[in-house]
Amino acid sequence: MSAAYAKRILPLVIIAAVIAALIALFLYAAGFFGRSHVTAQQFVDFQEGGSPHAGFRRAHAKGVCVEGDFVASGALSEYTRSAIFAEGSTPFIGRFSIGTGNPSAPDLSSGVRSLALTFDAGANEQWRTAMNTPPVMAVATPDAFFAQLNALMPDPETGERDPQRIAEFFAAHPETQTFREWSAGYTPTGSYASEQYNSINAFYLINRNGDRQAVRWAAVPRVQIDENPYADTDQADNALGLDIAERIEEGPVVYDLVFTLATDEDDPNNPTVAWPDSREQVTAGQIVIQRLASDDAQCNSLNFDPLVLPRGMQASEDPILRARSAAYAESYRRRARETWLGGE
């Protein structure tokens, strides 16, 4: 190539490079890179399997609806301007559940137990959170989570999981290690009242000055209950539900709501990594479960979408949160149509 020719095409090369960079920037801004390919419909199709349980949640189908108050200490106020965390009390509707999509699954068979809460802080403010017993997720993206669900799915003929497929999945996903270690060391307690429920995904608190602090939170129990009174009876299938109903009738069931503050070393967008125990923690107040909900429709008509947040709280960029929000809406749409609109 002659020097004269190179000089002539140089401006064209620069223009082409600028256009390519602009296209890449546009695609990045549109979220194209790293975007999830699995849809909410695919998640919910998978979770409901071949025979959906009409009118029920497609995950966490079996649960107990409760009501109570969040009694805030005010200790979180310096981090968030949400009225929910100012000293005082906010009513909530809550739901204990087990992870399965089968509404008649035996309570003690489920590997995941959950507590979901909707705080009602007046006409313009609500906070919804759905928490699980594991402190981390096994994987960090919706696509990988979908692959995990597929790897763990039992064979429809035998009802058994395929150990080789599971081993291959874990080998291909080393980020599952923290979850697997937790899972190997976890012993389910005897009651919903004695489990710790974790937000797993991270969020930001925003205070009056606009300062942002990344956090995770957990509902931390105040009692240790090893044995479930129904475990060895003919009512074992509903052991957790019966136990918690009795405890609530006897008096309030209480948890501390504890926030863990991230430092710059923690990635708020990766739910597979546990933050070190040395991170500062703030007890925002107590979750006081006062009574069983008078009408289960109170919970059935609720979708504990983790992106419904009060002012003073923001979602992190964690892609799992968007996938959750979309899947919960899809599950809600299906069960609402079956329950209130008379089917298809």
Q: Catalytic site residues?
A: 60
How many Å is the Cα radius of gyration of the chain? 23
Residue 116 or residue 220: which is nearer to ligand HEM going by CB? Answer: 116
Give the nearest distance from C-beta 164 to ligand HEM in angstroms: 25
- Minimum Å gap between C-beta 16 and ligand HEM is 40
Q: Name the DSSP class of 302.
A: -
**Nearer CB in complex with ligand HEM: 83/131:** 131
Which residue has tokens 């990045």?
Answer: 28
Token readout for 200 is 């797993």
In the complex with ligand HEM, which residue's Cβ is closer, 47 or 191? 47
Minimum distance of ligand HEM from residue 96's CB (angstroms): 8
List, as one string, the DSSP characters of 240-275: HHHHHHHHHHHS-EEEEEEEEE--TTS-TT-TTSPP
**Which residues fall within 8 angstroms of residue 273, CB to CB, at 6 or more apart?**
136, 178, 266, 267
Shortest separation between residue 38's beta carbon and ligand HEM, angstroms: 8
- Whether the CB-CB separation of 308 and 126 falls below 8 Å is answered with yes
- For residues 77 and 114, which CB has a smaller minimum distance to ligand HEM in the complex? 114
User: Can you tell me the distance from the alpha carbon of 135 to that of 266, in angstroms, rounded to the nearest whole number?
Assistant: 15
Task: Give every CB contact of residue 338 below 8 A, 6+ residues apart in sequence.
Answer: 54, 55
Which residue do the tokens 């003919």 mark? 234
Cβ nearer to ligand HEM, comparing 135 with 190: 135
Q: Which DSSP string do the residues of 95-138 spell out, in sequence order? A: EEEES-S-TT--GGG-S-EEEEEEEE-STT-EEEEEEESSSS-S
Specify the residue, 47 or 286, whose C-beta has the smaller distance to ligand HEM: 47
For ligand HEM, the binding residues (CB under 6 A) are 43-44, 47, 57-60, 63, 95, 97, 114, 116, 130-132, 137, 142, 145, 199-201, 303-304, 320, 323-324, 327-328, 331-332, 335
CB of 170 to ligand HEM, least distance (A): 18
Angle between helices 40-48 and 142-152 (to 10 degrees): 20
By DSSP bridging, strand 203-206 and strand 212-221 are: antiparallel
Please give, one letter per residue, the 3-state secondary structure of 131-181. EECCCCCCCCCHHHHHHHHHHHCCCCCCCCCCHHHHHHHHHHCHHHHHHHH
Q: Considering the complex, what minimum distance in angstroms separates the CB of residue 43 from ligand HEM?
A: 4
